[in-house]
Amino acid sequence: MARMKTVKSPWAGRDRNAEREEKREAVLHAAAEAFAERGYHRTSLDDIAARLGITKPTLYYYARNKDDLVSAVATRALDRILEAIEGDRESTALAQLQHLLRHYAEVMATDFGRCIIVVLDAHIGGPGGDLMQRGMRQIDARMRELLALGTEDGSIARGDPKLTAFMIAGALNGIARWFDEGGALSAAMVAEKFVNQLTAGLAPRR
């Protein structure tokens, strides 16, 4: 008798994957919320499990430990900023920088973005911490590059690209510390205002 061919239904498979993916999403969102609210040291896996109404053993199915979890959350936010790193090469360097900063600012106003700061502040090591360090250096390098290119194409005033990039990063990372989702300004509005203020400077233009 010929061996019966077992066909794995793609539908069944997809459903299981979709279900797992959906649960993983819920875990990441609960973790982002918890870490953004309470920081690294005051958040436990118990807190996150409680937010989801699941047991800690169930949570362990999605994350081995706290570092893995906060890193997974922060990595997603980092990826969203990195998406904006390649601007429209036809635009001026200033326009490309503004595009990157707008993205960066908006991400920092989300719970996921706050977790970038949580990971950096808590000096989390391992692959998650390394990834975050590397990603932030990549963003820093791109900002410096655009600042330098901008003095060449005339769209950005001459300055110190390294210090200016640090200044911008400080201003944008700060959003993670004070932004209030229930506040009067949306993340997009804050991003817009920050970019405009950084571009125009404090002194009036005559």
Residues that bind a copy of itself (CB under 8 A): 39, 41-42, 94, 97, 121-123, 147, 150, 154-160, 163-164, 166-175, 177-178, 185, 190, 193-194, 196-205
Give me the least distance between CB of 159 and a copy of itself, in Å please: 6
Give me the least distance between CB of 101 and a copy of itself, in Å please: 9
> Is 77 exposed, middle or buried, given 0-12, 13-18 or 19+ CB atoms closer than 10 A?
buried
Identify the helix (H) or strand (E) that includes residue 108: helix 93-108
Give me the least distance between CB of 38 and a copy of itself, in Å please: 9
Nearer to a copy of itself, 26 or 167 (CB): 167
What residues contact residue 175 under an 8 Å CB cut-off, 6+ apart?
Answer: 105, 108, 109, 113, 190, 194
- Helix, coil or strand: residue 46: helix
Nearer to a copy of itself, 8 or 205 (CB): 205
Give me the least distance between CB of 32 and a copy of itself, in Å please: 18
Q: Which amino acid is at 80?
A: R
Nearer to a copy of itself, 32 or 147 (CB): 147
Nearer to a copy of itself, 132 or 172 (CB): 172
| Residue (of 101, 93, 100) closest to 149 by Cα position | 93
